[in-house]
Chain A
Amino acid sequence: MKNSIETKTLKAREDFIMTKGSNQQIKCDQQSLAGAVSQRACVYSGARVVLNPVKDAYHLVHGPIGCASYTWDIRGSLTSGSDIFRTSFSTDLREKDIVFGGEKKLTTIITELIENDNYQPEVIFIYSTCVVGVIGDDLKAVARRAEEKYGIRVIPVESSGFSGTKSKGYKAACEALLNLMEDFKEKSSEQQSSRTKKIGGKNVFKQQAAIMEQSNKENKANGQAEVKFSQSDTRKAKINALVKKLNHLSEIQTSSGINSYENLKQARRLIKQKQRSKTRKKLNLLGDYNLAAEGWIIKSYLQEVGIEVVAGFTGDAGIDDIRRAPTADLNIVQCAGSMKYLARRMKEEFGIPFLEISFLGLQDSLESLRRIAAQLKDPEIIENVERLIARKLPPVLAKLKVYKSYLAGKKAAIYVGGAFKAISLVKQFNQLGMKTVMVGTQNGKAADYQKLEKLTDPGTIILDDANPSELEEFMRQKGADVLVGGVKDRALAYKMGLAFFDHNHERKDPLVGFEGVINLAKELDLTINSPIWSVIGSGKNE
């Protein structure tokens, strides 16, 4: 077992694995080896997970049925409005489409979608899959024709599975989002000339009217609120009451999960009410997918300190939110792996600066709130942030102390998709007195691995794009107590008699912010200290 790297690992894989303290450079950001039991997915999967939460868009998968089936509602993104994104639309390509091309079928299906009386798509995203890339369907042409005919947006997503790694899919999704934001530019110029472009079709006028009305309302609301907020104490009191309510609500959500629609509706109402109240600055939240209401928790903090979130990318994002996103003062990026590209592009296109933040973990949450406030250079926001922290922090610290006593000394192994998650997890484990004995990611970059190396103790195994046998080998070798990973790793950990902590799409409890810190500790305690591990026949190590 000692020489496991040599015995169980392929030579070509050795460079992707390192031990902290060995002065070795880790290789990463490469295509997986052919034949590897990799946990990685494809370009399409990357595009799908990033784009799919856009709630009122129609997501049409152009390909054989599998690609649609496996990604049908796997994200767990919560919505406060439309839930059409959770419906699986597929062109279900058959043999004859492969032979004669799928464009005709795609065109028919778009027509079926639009002419169906019950659907009123404003935006259709068409995802390209492996086979579509090979048979060479011209999605752009089909989309353009549909746009001309019906006056809605039909946006192709260039996500043929084989054309790269998942990261490329993130980019494809970001491009599609930018494509949607192009509307903003058009809209502003149209409004200036106060003429509407004649495209024809049933939805276009409704859509434009809605956008104009929306922006009018906004202008009005902003103008009025500005005066009232500073003048009226009662309004301030009202806002405070709302904040209280919202906090209470987020506590309900975090303790028992969001399982009733009433809960959801209440949250939506409160958020809407708060949005109407005066906010001093506007930003977009990038790289949050509102899993288990995480986006709402972050939004509630930001709103409390006087910042409006224009659009979440893409958790609980509506088409109109995305279209208005270019009006924001700042972009904050949570999951950098998937969304830093969009932040960069929005900086180029719209001049919006961006800030990489993380609301995973206490340290990161505090730091992020303060950095956002500092970046916005608004004294009131800076003050509000301190007030929020002063209120939220003490109870969290008190609870953490209790959990620390349950968890200190436990050894954790981490294998997650994005490096930002891994980094924040290591920090949180350090805070809980736990040791990280192995940490790996599917899509980490060199800089991420340097950060990880800095954060971990000597002897920690760091690895890129690992396979199950490597995970098993190192977890055993290092005597891990818990594995943090995704769905495929869960079964592996359990089979080894190890605890498991879900840090993937399927998680049901929010892990961000003050609430998240406690949830993480609570769940770790729940799984590590479960009585089930004590009834397993043989020992877990050796």
Chain B
Amino acid sequence: MQDLVPKEFKERNSLVINPVKTCQPIGAMYAALGIHGCLPHSHGSQGCCSYHRMHLTKHFREPVVASSSSFTEGASVFGGRANLETALKNIFAVYDPEVVAINTTCLSETIGDDVTSIVSGMEIPPGKTIINASTPSYVGSHVVGFANMVKAMVKQLSEKREPAQTNNKLNLIPGFVDPGDIREMKRILEAMDIDYILFPDQSDVLDTPLDGNYKMYPDGGVTIPELKDTANSKATIALGALASQPAAFELEKMHDVKAYTLKTPVGIKATDEFLMQLLKITGQEIPAEIEKERGQLVDIIADTHHQFHGKKVAIYGDPDIVISLTEFTLSMGMKPIHVLTGTPGKDFEAEINKMLKDADWESNVAAGGDLFQLHQWVKKEPVELLIGNSYGKLVAKQEDIPLVRVGFPILDRSVHSYLPKIGYKGAMLLVEKISSALLDRKDRDTDFELTEFVL
């Protein structure tokens, strides 16, 4: 199929070829899995729910359970109220979750089901919670769906104490990242002795150990009391403008909890900013242990910077991650010459262009693009490395370029969801991956006579 990718760029109005995004509901489902005891519910056809579970299972290699309103022809003519009511009754009777997080789909959005009013008219068993988010598949992307569900968590659950009293905690919204990243964030917060509420929290949900016991609702996840308490925290740090900012702003608007939006802390600079912000808000010292990690990371990059300098790289994937990766590769002396996300939005291009302003080369930047477009760019101006999700394998194989897998989804490799890409430790792992990819390629391409042990 790659033979059909022409070098010359021809304006395409609407056709999407090989997407670098998917639809909102899967992001909402992933966010909902970060609530303790939560069963995500998809208000739409069965296929949606099935696909989202399958896709998440492939990325995390963990069981993902969610239910569906199982729309029929009738439901899509007369509305999905009856289906949702039956569904919720069945869910509480059979699966007994503590929380049900409902996301809509393109179908239920289009026929105009008002989920909020349906749910408010229902009798919810005592002690149980239902939240719902509107996640039309034809707006934004999976990252927007994630943001919408996180926003719904605070909008529908956060409660100010009467009388007002701070809990002295910090809210942290990690963004659309893996459990390994969330663990690393927690480690940093705990090392700094900061009391926090982190949500959504998929660690111990989608990275559980194998002990022979399957738990439909694993131990992890943010609890409902914690989500309620987010209104009383002293501040919210939202990591990733697209995935996390809407919820932080909502808390600020509703309860005057100050919101700080930062980049996903991938790389030195973004991690520095994250730590400085933690320090500013809490007044807690940055422990020597973390500072040492920074020094080690800088040492590693200094030792190996010759491997990276001037290397042309193409980066694609979800906006929050791509922005940070671009910044990080720039700081390593690499040249990110093609930067693309499938998620539409002007801010992305502005943010990347700001970073590239100092660089003297022409870069291609696009939001709302697809892999076909990236492939065309790469054909026109080749790169030495690709960084992005599994689908980039198409380009990597055809153009014979090494690929470092970072982002979502990664379907053809494992362990990624357990290891961090954020923080100094995460950056070390990224440097190791990038370095290995480049050097493996060099070794492959070097004649045997010229092959060296020391690189």
The residues of A with any CB-CB pair to B shorter than 8 Å are 8-10, 12-13, 31-45, 63-72, 83-84, 86-95, 97-98, 105, 108-109, 112-113, 116-119, 129-131, 133-135, 161-164, 468-469, 472, 487-488, 490-492, 494-497, 536-540
* A105 contacts B106, C-beta separation under 8 Å: no
Contact B138 A35 (CB under 8 A): no
- Taken together as a complex, chains A and B put the C-alpha atoms of A87 and B52 apart, in Å, by 20
Contacts of A163 in B (CB 8 A): 73
B80 → chain A closest CB, angstroms: 9
Q: Which of B7-38 touch A at CB < 8 Å?
A: 10, 12-19, 21-26
Please tell me if the beta carbons of A68 and B106 are within 8 angstroms of each other in the complex.
Answer: no
Query: Which A residues are CB-close (under 8 A) to B211?
Result: 497, 536-538
Please pick, from B4, B83, B94, B138, the residue contacting A93 in the complex, using a CB distance under 8 A. Answer: B138
> Residues of B contacting A468 with CB < 8 Å?
63, 65, 216
- A sample of 19 more A-B contacts (CB under 8 A), given A35-B90, A87-B1, A469-B94, is A10-B94, A34-B68, A34-B83, A35-B69, A38-B46, A40-B46, A42-B45, A45-B47, A70-B22, A72-B18, A88-B17, A92-B14, A98-B106, A163-B73, A164-B73, A490-B57, A491-B63, A494-B61, A497-B210
**B67 contacts the other chain (CB 8 A):** yes
Contact residue among A91, A133, A492, A496 (Cβ-Cβ distance under 8 Å from B16): A91
A22 to B46, CA, bound (A): 31
A496 CA to B71 CA, complexed, in Å? 31
The 7 closest A-B pairs by CB, nearest first: A42-B47, A66-B23, A35-B87, A35-B90, A497-B212, A69-B22, A64-B137
Question: Do A66 and B67 touch across chains, with their CB atoms under 8 A apart?
Answer: no
Inside 8 A of A496's CB, which chain B residues have their CB?
Answer: 212-214
B106 and A63 within 8 A (CB): yes
Chain B residues within an 8 Å CB radius of A36? 67-68, 70, 90, 94
Question: In angstroms, how far is the closest chain A Cβ from the Cβ of B63?
Answer: 4
- Interface size classification for chain B: 35 or more
- Can you report 7 A-B residue pairs in the complex whose CB atoms are below 8 A from each other? A35-B41, A41-B46, A66-B22, A130-B106, A131-B106, A131-B137, A491-B63
Instruction: Give complex CA distance A479, B217 in Å.
Output: 22
- B190-235 with Cβ < 8 A to chain A: 208, 210-214, 216
Q: Verify if B124 is at the interface (C-beta below 8 Å from A).
A: no
Asked if B25 and A42 make an inter-chain contact with CB atoms under 8 angstroms apart, the answer reads no
Q: Which residue of B lies closest to A165 (CB)?
A: B46
In the docked arrangement, what's the CA distance between A494 and B213, Å?
Answer: 10
Contact: B54 with A488, CB < 8 Å? yes
Assembly CA distance A117 to B5 (angstroms):
10
B14 close to A91 (CB less than 8 A): yes
Nearest Cβ on chain A to B183's Cβ, whole angstroms? 19
Report whether A536 and B47 are in contact in the complex, using a CB–CB cutoff of 8 Å: no
Task: Report the nearest A residue to B23, measured CB to CB.
Answer: A66
- Alpha-carbon distance A113/B372, docked complex (angstroms): 13
Is the CB–CB distance between B63 and A65 below 8 Å?
A: no
In the complex where A10-B94, A65-B23, A134-B111 touch, is A40 in contact with B50 (Cβ < 8 A)? yes
**Option from B10, B70, B138 in Cβ contact (under 8 Å) with A33:** B70
CA–CA, A118 to B69, complex, Å?
42
State in angstroms the CA–CA spacing of A86 and B6 once bound together.
17
CA distance A108 to B95 in the complex (A): 46
Determine the chain A residues whose CB is within 8 A of the CB of B296 once the complex forms. Answer: none
Collect the chain B residues with CB atoms within 8 Å of residue A112's CB: 12-15
Contacts of A10 in B (CB 8 A): 90, 93-94
* Nearest-Cβ distance from residue A218 to partner chain B, whole angstroms: 28
**A487 contacts B68, C-beta separation under 8 Å:** no
CB-defined interface of B66-106 with A at 8 Å, one 1/0 digit per residue?
A: 11111111011000000110111111011100000000011
The distance from the CB of B350 to the nearest CB of chain A, in whole angstroms, is: 21
The interface residues of chain B lying within 8 Å CB-to-CB of A109 are 13-15
Judging by beta carbons under 8 Å apart, are B19 and A162 in contact?
A: no
B19, A41: Cβ atoms closer than 8 Å: no
Instruction: Say whether B53 faces chain A, with CB atoms less than 8 Å apart.
Output: yes
Q: Which residue from B57, B61, B75, B94 sits with its C-beta under 8 Å from A162?
A: B75
Which residues of chain B have C-beta atoms less than 8 A from A37's C-beta? 39, 65-68, 95
Complex: A98 Cα to B108 Cα, angstroms:
12
A495 and B90: CB pair below 8 A? no
Complex CA–CA separation, A538 to B211 (angstroms): 6
Most buried by B among A32, A94, A490: A94
Task: Assess the B45–A488 pair: CB atoms within 8 A.
Answer: no
Q: Please name all residues of chain B whose beta carbon is closer than 8 Å to the beta carbon of A45 when the two chains form the complex.
A: 47, 50-51
Q: Is B45 a contact partner of A130 (Cβ separation < 8 A)?
A: yes
Residues of A within 8 A of B107 (CB): 130-131, 134, 161-162
Task: Tell me which residues across on chain B come within 8 A of A69, comparing CB atoms.
Answer: 19, 21-23, 55
**Nearest-Cβ distance from residue A154 to partner chain B, whole angstroms:** 14
What separation, in Å, do the CA atoms of A37 and B57 have in the docked complex?
14
Q: Are A495 and B94 in contact (CB under 8 A)?
A: no
Of A93, A95, A536, which contacts B212 at CB under 8 A? A536
Known interface pairs A134-B110, A472-B214; A68-B19 also in contact (CB < 8 Å): yes
| CB-CB under 8 A for A95 and B138, given A64-B23, A487-B54 | yes
Q: Does A44 contact B47, Cβ atoms closer than 8 Å?
A: yes
Task: Point out the residue from B55, B67, B214 that lies within 8 Å of A70, measured CB to CB.
Answer: B55
